[in-house]
Amino acid sequence: MFLYLLQTSPLIALAWVVAILVSLTVHEFSHALVGRMRGDHTAERAGRLTLNPLAHLDLYGFIPLLLLGFGWAKPVPFNPYNLKNPKWDSVIIALAGPLSNFLLAIVAGFMLRGLFVAGVGMESLLLVIFLVLLVILNLSLMLFNVIPVHPLDGSKLFFALFDAPRYEELRRFVAERGPQLLLILVVLSLLTDIDIFFFITYPAYVLCDALTGDSCIGLLSSFI
């Protein structure tokens, strides 16, 4: 989509880039902030407790996200031995990222509602596009990252909930096969027209419609 936008609507392409950078930065910053709040200063010492996008940017993950819709930012480090409660504090730090994306989507959604109420003029068109992209992107990041597969954030909650000895086989399967299955799904989604991640895209658009009070697919279709 990015290359097409770059050729047809450079300003919308720029809005897409900025939306990605903002979303990834807020996500990773939230990991670092909550880590410090829970007693670990590893991310802060690594220069990750910042809203500077360059501190969180991983070009190997950013470029595929920009071009293909799948990618990653630079992981935020933390040391569980510095935490007050390593098991559950690790979960809190992990879920801080998806939660921040959800909160950012809410803020962007209500800003969009405000623009609609005020009566959007052509001078606000780019801002509307940016906010719609921001809502969709953050909801998608939230839903994708709570998948209970390493290295996604949801895996921390999964392994904390299923840490009893009787779940050892399940934990091993998820740890060993989960990333492989996730990679297969990503490849299939890129090589086919099948909506492999319908369990992310459908809820994301439903939530987007609820937050903005309008059809997000309709808004994107009218702009792109």
How confident is the model over 18-63, as pLDDT tens digits?
A: 999 999 999 999 999 999 999 999 999 999 999 999 999 999 999 8
Estimate to the nearest angstrom the gap between the alpha carbon of 90 and the chain centroid. 18
Give the highest mean pLDDT range of 9-23, 58-72, 90-104, 164-178.
90-104
39 and 86 Cβ atoms separated by less than 8 Å = no
12-28 CB burial, b ≥16 within 10 A, e <16 = bbebbbebbbbbbbbbb
Task: Give 34's Cβ-side CA count (13 Å radius).
Answer: 20
Segment 141-152, tens digit of pLDDT:
999 999 999 889
Q: What is the pLDDT of residue 17?
A: 94
Domain ranges for the chain? 2-223
Q: What is the pLDDT of residue 123?
A: 58
∠ Cα 46 47 51 (to 5°): 145
Helix axes 86-118, 10-37, angle to 10 degrees: 140
pTM over 0.85: yes
Q: Which of 118, 106, 104, 117 is nearest to 211 (CA)?
A: 106
Instruction: Please list, in sequence order, all residues whose beta carbon lies within 8 angstroms of the beta carbon of residue 32, skipping any fewer than 6 positions away.
Output: 43, 44, 48, 49, 50, 76
Residues with a catalytic annotation lie at: 28
CA atoms 129, 135, 138, 142: torsion sign: negative
